[in-house]
């Protein structure tokens, strides 16, 4: 299924096809800052499933999450998408807010970097508090997704 995405100002229009690998809440301090929110609502796709013209996005790496390249819109300065790895071996992280129809997305499956949370969350989802357990949860999912 193809889904339309865009950054908050709409300058960057892109689309994803294929099934999302997982949707999760990220409480890391970088997300808190970039999204200007207590946590980010993120959906993970294979990078090959994303079609993005890449015209008005600036990518910058952040030390703590070395492998992740965060793309910020040149116009609204909000996150467009983040990527990890390249092409067939890469993954894309897209916030649920950037989907034209977020209702078509799966339910969130877990919280990561819960140790740096700004607010306690009352739900039954698994909560991975530190860097190590959060990374581990990702690797397991990525392995399962092939
Ligand atoms: Zn924008
Ligand atoms: Zn984060």
> Strands 110-112, 22-26: parallel, antiparallel or unpaired by DSSP?
parallel
Domains and CATH numbers, the chain: 3-145 (3.90.1590.10)
**Average of per-residue pLDDT values in the chain:** 90
Q: What is the pLDDT of residue 53?
A: 82
Residue 86 pLDDT exceeds 90: no
Neighbours of ion ligand 2 (CB under 5 A): 26, 28, 31
- Give the Å distance between the CA of 80 and the centre of ligand 1: 7
Q: Which ligand approaches the C-alpha of residue 98 most closely?
A: 1
Task: Name the band, by pLDDT with cuts 50, 70 and 90, for residue 59.
Answer: confident
DSSP one-letter string for 76-140? T-SEEEEEES-GGG-EEEEEGGGBS-GGGSPPP-EEESGGG-SS---SSS-EE-SHHHHHHHHHH
Asked if residue 92 lies in contact with residue 81, where contact means CB atoms within 8 angstroms, the answer is yes
Mean pLDDT of 77-91: 88
- Give the Å distance between the CA of 11 and the centre of ligand 1: 5
The reported pTM is: 0.89
Residue at token pair 């908050």: 8
């Amino acid at each position: 299924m193809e889904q339309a995405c865009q950054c908050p100002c709409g300058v960057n229009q892109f689309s994803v096809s294929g099934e999302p690998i997982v949707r999760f809440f990220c409480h890391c301090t970088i997300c808190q800052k970039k999204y200007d929110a207590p946590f980010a609502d993120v959906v993970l796709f294979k990078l090959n499933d994303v079609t993005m013209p890449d015209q008005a996005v600036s990518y910058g790496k952040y030390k703590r999450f070395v492998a992740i390249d965060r793309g910020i819109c040149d116009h609204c300065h909000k996150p467009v998408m983040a990527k990890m790895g390249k092409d067939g071996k890469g993954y894309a992280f897209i916030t649920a807010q950037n989907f034209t129809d977020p209702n078509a997305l799966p339910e969130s499956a877990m919280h990561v970097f819960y140790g740096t949370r700004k607010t306690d969350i009352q739900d039954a989802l698994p909560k991975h508090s530190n860097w190590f357990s959060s990374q581990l949860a990702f690797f397991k999912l990525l392995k399962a997704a092939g």
